[in-house]
């Protein structure tokens, strides 16, 4: 997502596409080696590193408050001043609130800032005040309010409604808003989000100018409106199915879900809670008191600080420790290798992995129950074949009882500097749940150009029975999504084709004009998707034609519900929505072309 600048080129990162949208308003036991060292009388060990300790402090960029902490508002304001417009900066922060009640706060969140309560339930930590995201830094345009999050808090907004005007990669999880929630910026400027899960909003949710949104396993008082694509699964109070007018796609339940792991306090001890898997889920997990699941003490985690080597992280994993990555940037010169079932890799404050020398940042073996959460993977300047791999190629193990989850794991190629990756995310393990990801080839920032931040493919799904809930993939040079596994399902998809294609030949896919945003492999016999949208904005060459947004085998077992394609102001056009079905986009009018059911 990238808006048009409203000032000199020095003031804004790039020309983008919002000029046309004004009217579109399982728990492991304690590691055996933990804390042991060689006795003084023992002979020198011939090899092997000393065992790494678990636990420890959370580092300088995790700021912990309790209700008696002096100067809370001043500290919140200080972090916000630093992070408000630091879109591609290096600062990373987690703001954590111990259980209790806090009065008169307004926590404004900038880039790479996470705010969270430390109770088992959001109602354990109440802020009589607001957690605010607005767009003053960008002249009222919220389409670049990326990379920030709110979790596990109860809010009593000062004026009755909390403002959360975000774009991609800004999850709102496990929140209780005792009032309404406004998803647009002050002045109702452009906005392009977003994601809510496991949350209760007692009042009305007003998206206003938000183009698209996905809400999962939550409860809301009411929902005000929709622009292009509003998707709900397992949401009490959701509007009825009515796509395309209004553009609501509503599923009564979510087929499979398992909420994100989170840090909490048990007395004075930090622990990580691991919510249990739910099938046919509806509503919040915490509504009846203590949530269901298990927990791990922090002593079973290697608490990593920026500057640690990949070799040390892998040593910790080999010892049987989980990983807690405190806020900051981690360069890895070899893949972080998760080989043990049930391993948790949890990032705080948008902990960021950068692969050096073209390695893959993180690889997961074909094992049960791995949980990856709260990470940003930023491609390095040397091309990586892949950035994240879940399972090896050819993985076939059944993980239905205890799937791997990939939650709030975001990928970026370019923007903070030149980066390259052939394929960003590869899912090979069966039954994997990809729950909220934004896989982004940058369209603005530094190191951006058709070949400068070359990235041909966004996500490739080879594993069977994979479920994606909240899939955002944008701007890849070729296919954004390729799905080759059987029985795959996607609930909500948001895409933009690459803005910067120089000409038709650059995106020509054999005899087909352009690469589909979402391609289901020819051999797939069963697949289903709900609420999927693709947009084009070919601002370098507006004459480019994209034949369709979606490509899939024309077979009864491959089904789509509520598809749309949009040409943003006539900067490029779609001829069809899916395969040869659906009307072409209509000139310069930014109006979706829709298909309610396919085939």
Question: Tens digit of pLDDT for each residue in 139-179?
Answer: 999 999 999 999 999 999 999 999 999 999 999 999 999 99
pLDDT of residue 1: 62
Task: For residue range 40-56, list pLDDT tens digits in order.
Answer: 334 444 466 799 999 99
Quick one: which of 104, 85, 218, 97 has its CA closest to 150? 97
Give the side-chain half-sphere CA count within 13 A for 186: 9
Task: For residue range 216-234, list pLDDT tens digits in order.
Answer: 999 999 999 999 999 999 9
Grade residue 508 by pLDDT with cuts at 50, 70 and 90. Answer: very high
Q: Is the pLDDT of residue 514 over 60?
A: yes
Task: For residue range 303-342, list pLDDT tens digits in order.
Answer: 999 999 999 999 999 999 999 999 999 999 999 999 999 9
β-pairing, 277-281 vs 254-258, is antiparallel
Task: For residue range 263-299, list pLDDT tens digits in order.
Answer: 999 999 999 999 999 999 999 999 877 789 999 999 9
pLDDT of residue 19: 33
Task: For residue range 248-269, list pLDDT tens digits in order.
Answer: 999 999 999 999 999 999 999 9
CB atoms within 10 A of CB 561: 18
pLDDT of residue 554: 97
Q: Is-contact 38 49, C-beta < 8 A?
A: no
How far from 3 is each of 140, 144, 188, 411, CA to CA, in Å?
A: 11, 7, 15, 20
Choose the catalytic residue: 78, 496, 575, 580. 496
* Mean pLDDT value across the chain: 93
Q: Is the pLDDT of residue 112 over 70?
A: yes
For the question of whether the overall pTM of this predicted structure is more than 0.95, the answer is no
- For residues 277-306, one letter each, b for 16 or more C-beta atoms within 10 angstroms of the residue's C-beta and e for the rest, the string is bbeebbbbbbeeeebebebbebbbbbbbbb
496 is catalytic: yes
% of the chain with per-residue pLDDT over 70 = 92
Helices (H), 44-164: 72-83
Q: Is the pLDDT of residue 5 over 50?
A: no
Q: Going by C-beta distance under 8 Å and a sequence separation of 6 or more, which residues neighbour residue 70?
A: none
pLDDT of residue 135: 98
Element (H, E) at 388: strand 384-390
């Amino acid at each position: 997502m990238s808006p048009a600048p409203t000032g000199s080129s020095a003031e804004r990162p790039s020309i983008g596409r919002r000029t046309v949208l004004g009217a579109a308003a399982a728990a492991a036991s304690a590691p055996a080696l933990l804390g042991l060292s060689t006795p003084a009388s023992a002979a020198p060990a011939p090899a092997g590193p000393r065992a790494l300790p678990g636990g420890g402090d959370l580092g300088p960029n995790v700021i912990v408050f309790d209700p008696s902490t002096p100067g809370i508002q001043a500290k919140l304001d200080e972090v916000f001043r630093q992070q408000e417009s630091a879109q591609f900066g290096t600062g990373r922060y987690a703001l954590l609130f111990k259980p209790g009640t806090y009065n008169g706060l307004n926590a404004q969140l900038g880039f790479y800032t996470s705010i969270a309560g430390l109770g088992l339930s959001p109602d354990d930590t109440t802020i009589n005040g607001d957690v605010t995201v607005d767009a003053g830094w960008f002249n009222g345009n919220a389409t670049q309010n990326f990379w920030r999050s709110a979790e596990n808090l109860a809010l009593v907004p000062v004026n009755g409604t909390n403002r959360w005007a975000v774009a991609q990669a800004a999850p709102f999880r496990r929140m209780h808003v005792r009032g309404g929630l406004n998803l647009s910026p002050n002045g109702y400027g452009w906005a392009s989000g977003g994601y809510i899960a496991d949350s209760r909003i007692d009042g009305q949710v007003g998206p206003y100018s938000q183009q698209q949104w996905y809400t999962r396993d939550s409860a809301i008082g009411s929902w005000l409106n929709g622009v292009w694509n509003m998707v709900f699964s397992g949401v009490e109070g959701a509007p009825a199915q009515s796509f395309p007018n209004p553009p609501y796609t509503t599923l009564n339940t979510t087929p499979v879900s398992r909420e994100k792991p989170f840090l909490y306090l048990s007395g004075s001890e930090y622990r990580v809670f691991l919510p249990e898997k739910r099938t046919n889920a509806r509503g919040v997990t915490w509504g009846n008191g203590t949530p269901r699941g298990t927990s791990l003490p922090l002593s079973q985690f290697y608490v990593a600080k920026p500057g640690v080597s990949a070799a040390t992280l892998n040593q910790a994993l080999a010892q049987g420790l989980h990983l807690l990555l405190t806020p900051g940037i981690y360069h890895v010169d070899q893949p972080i290798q998760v080989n043990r079932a049930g391993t948790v890799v949890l990032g705080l404050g948008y902990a960021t992995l950068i692969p050096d020398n073209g390695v893959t940042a993180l690889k997961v073996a074909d094992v049960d129950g791995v949980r990856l959460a709260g990470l940003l993977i930023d491609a390095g300047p040397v091309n990586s074949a892949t950035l994240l791999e879940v399972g090896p190629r050819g993985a076939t193990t059944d993980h239905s009882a205890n799937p791997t989850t990939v939650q709030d794991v975001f990928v970026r190629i370019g923007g903070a500097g030149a980066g390259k990756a052939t394929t960003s995310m590869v899912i090979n393990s069966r039954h994997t749940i990809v729950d909220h990801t934004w896989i982004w080839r940058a369209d603005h920032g530094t190191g951006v150009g058709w070949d400068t931040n070359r990235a041909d493919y966004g996500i490739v799904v080879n594993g069977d029975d994979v479920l994606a809930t909240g899939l955002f993939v944008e701007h890849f040079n070729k296919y954004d999504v390729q799905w080759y596994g059987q029985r795959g399902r996607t609930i909500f998809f948001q895409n933009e084709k690459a803005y910067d294609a120089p000409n038709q030949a650059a995106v020509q896919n054999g005899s087909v004009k352009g690469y589909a945003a979402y391609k289901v492999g020819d051999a797939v016999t069963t697949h289903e998707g709900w609420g999927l949208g693709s947009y084009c904005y070919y601002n370098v060459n507006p004459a480019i034609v994209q034949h369709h947004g979606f490509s899939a085998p024309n077979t009864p077992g491959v089904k789509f519900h509520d598809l749309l394609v949009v040409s943003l102001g006539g900067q490029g056009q779609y001829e069809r929505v899916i395969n040869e079905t659906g009307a072409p986009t209509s000139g310069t009018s930014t109006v979706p072309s829709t298909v309610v059911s396919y085939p």
